[in-house]
Structure 1
Amino acid sequence: MISIHTEGKTRDALIQLLLEFKDVFAWSYDDMPGLSVDLVVHKLPTHPDYPPVQQKQRKFKTDISDKIKEEVTKQLKAGVIRVVRYTTWLANVVPVPKKDGKIRVCVDYRDLNKASPKDNFPLPNIHILVDNCAKHEGHALQTQEYHVRDLRKFFERLRKYDLKLNPAKCAFVVPSGKLLGFIVSRRGIELDPTKIKAIQNLSPPKTKKEVMSLMGRLNYISRFIAQLTTTCEPIFKLLKKDAAIEWTDECQQAFDKIKEYLSNPPVLVPPEPGRPLFLYLAVLENSFGCVLGQHDVTGKKEQAIYYLSKKFTAYEAKYTLLEKTCCALTWVAQKLRHYLLAYTTYLITRLDPIKYIFQKPMPTGRLAKWQVLLTEFDIVYVTRTAMKAQALADHLAENPVDDEYQPLNTFFPDEEINSIEITPGDTNTWKMFFDGAVNAKGVGIGAILISPTGQHYPATARLRFFCTNNTAEYEACIMGMTMAVDMDVEELLIMGDSDLIIKQAQREWETRDIKLLPYRQHVEDLSKRFKSVEFKYIPRFHNELADVLATLAAMLPYPGNTHIDPLEIQIRERHGYCDAVEVESNIHPWYHDIKRFLKTKEYPEQASGDQRRTIRRRASKFFLSGEVLYKRTPDLNLLRCVDAKEAGKIMNEVHSGDITGSPWKKIIFVLSESAINVKYMAI
């Protein structure tokens, strides 16, 4: 078969070539003389200790049995097979139906495979083979000009070794064709319509085997499906061990969403040399997804190359967002290694994992593993604002959507499932936002109560005593709860961006700082005065109003048409629960006992056995150079230890900005526990 798209000269030359080499085509078994034994010999080695297996005869239907007999007779007459009278191995025939109604006769080699040693040879990468055939003028040729020349070399080699081709399966200069389950053409790589139709015609699975069959079909075409793991999460749960196979509404919605997505699948393209790649990475709570793309020749349009998604393991799900991003990038880089090694890759994601991984000179643990695995790649992090197009990034649904949001064709039609939607709660529940701010000019706290009808009641106060940021957060929470008690609120939802305060209020974290114990106790006492109270952590960008109240009360923005009572700036002369704690005087620096032990191996007088063990344990992390004490960090850096006076001097110089001639210019971190009592502020 010759394509109608073949050019005139090429068509004539191809016809002459086929007539010249018509002997390389086998029209029947009689035209197949077989290979010379001097070239290759087919043998099946077996382990000598493995006993031969003779399978019992398998029965077939009459029509299938007749076709098997006809095919075996043809091969027997052509000399492809021969009769063995006394056999030690006996395997049944496995008929495989063909599209033309005939059958392909195979043999059940399962028993023989168990007795045969395995061949160790690398298999080709399917995606590399498909990429190499795409974006050409023909199915498997780059240009028609050299096609006839290459075919002549191919036919000459076939004639030399008496190899034959099946003319029914030969097509020349076709613009597109099926290859390993995909359609490759000049446009790029597309899904086989028969595979799409097979999935769309599937009925909901009823057994675990049917669920595994469905996921196997989707996994083979996962390269074309964005966020497959996130979308099919309800279906994945059915594959868990001892999980009941119950096809819920969530499973059906995910199944319908996949079917709708496959009704208009994307066209992927192989990467072109000379242009960088773009990797868009979206990290969610339990999974992540990415898309690898590249600009076209014009540089104005981005084309997708590969979609990829994966679910975090139970251990990986406990990582921080930045660590999850690093873990996802490492996994993606190894999965797409055959693409990334040959190109410069620009990474577009919410956080910068490259800086986090490579900023430490001597990383340890999983950070060191990620650094080693990513060293061979040329990956550059860029911000989103620097990109010309955002179509491929928007499909990752990293940000909440608004009312004017329109779903993209590159993702699922209702991709806003990944957005944050705040629904109205119980009509009797009040909401409270709180925040504290500590800076060089002082300490401020802010809280805002929101009634069930949406009316806002803000409050702010300036603290006349210095405290840490955690203390300020507690002060803000206490002020807001006190307001709610005075307004006879019964049901209250408290939200803040301090993970420490929220977790301690929920009794999930233990309060170890003795300065925060009275605050936590006072919060518990106030909680008993409500009918129901709930603490909830929210990100900082969702707590902007309370943050403004705490830092810039005079510049409070007016939030739309919502009514806000006039603000009154109060002056607080003391703590929310009691008077300020007096600072105890100490003539020795906080590291006196550690330095003394490292220098003379002596302990403080009247020190108990537990206290001595504590000093020895803490001293193992310090290093004494002359009279200067340093602390070793996990990445083997040395931090100089300073007393309260030196810490105050450093803080004053840093906050004043006058550090040009200061000896502390290169100090990044100051280790001083007592600096908290002398207006110490962490940078």
Structure 2
Amino acid sequence: MVVKSKKAGMHMEHLADTFQTLREFKMKLNPSKCSFGVSSGKFLGYMVTQRGIEASKEQIRAILQLESPQKPKDVQRLAGKVAALNRYTSFEKLALALVTASYKMRPYFESHTIHVITNYPLKTIMRKPELSGRMTKWSVHLSGYDLQFEPRTAIKSQALADFVSDFCPATRREAGEGMLAITGNQDGEIWTLYIDGASNARGAGVGLVLRSPKGDMIVQAIRCKFKATNNEAEYEALILGMQMASGLKVRNLRVYSDSLLVVNHVNNEYVARDPKMIAYLKIATERKSKFRTFKITQVPREQNMEADALATLGSTFQPAELSNIPITHVLTPAI
């Protein structure tokens, strides 16, 4: 717990308010672990000073002592390390923070209802049925706790978060921009969705690539735990993709698929005759009406290679095999 005052004259008043809150909730402090009148120090692994919150030199020692690459292999190692730092998406970082908190405060999570105060649609993301990989693992882990997701309303409950934000305005700005890019719900913004379905002897799979107007990308490889023809898998891709976009409050969606049949069905250029195709088309039409503007276009397979590769992964591998598939960049040929 940190009680921070911008002006020294107001610090006693802030301390009085803090102790009053502690008494109301019958919370006790360990005097041996309390410090008062501290102008700077280490808190939660960070250095808190009058300049703001800074990284502890002990934690970034490895980066500070990192030597500049001298050879191509050194560049490859550096690229791999940078890729490891960026392996989490914005929502994965939020979910990881919650999972980490559940491990560190396990007795509290198991004994009480946990109220998660956030303005981010974390509940929607964590409960989407088409999650794969580590997000699925985290979702299963968190499902064992009584979590209540609530929008941020009370300032007092966010005192520590505000304290960190006050010292990190750049972080708050970046988070806001990242959230706007992911959940952009402005009327004129157009999202693009590339979809593909695959069916083979091992099963059926779906590949989705959703891009925000600012270039952020959400990719998913989904395995269908039921038998499906290639056309049925293509429809599953369309419906799951529309569901994902709706969950992110997308209003204007442009869909690209290499399935001529599905595209012409949705555009009313082909008449669906097969009973399953009629049922799929009905669901797709209902989902389409939820968007302010919707357009689906047929593209050649070579322009849909990302979604095609994801669909192949989903149809070929079991979910456990999909949880961690590293992608390594090779800068130079072997010969």
With the length of structure 1 as denominator, give the TM-score of the two structures: 0.23
> Of the two, which has the highest radius of gyration?
1
With the length of structure 2 as denominator, give the TM-score of the two structures: 0.42
Higher normalized contact order (CA 8 Å, seq sep 6+, divided by chain length):
2
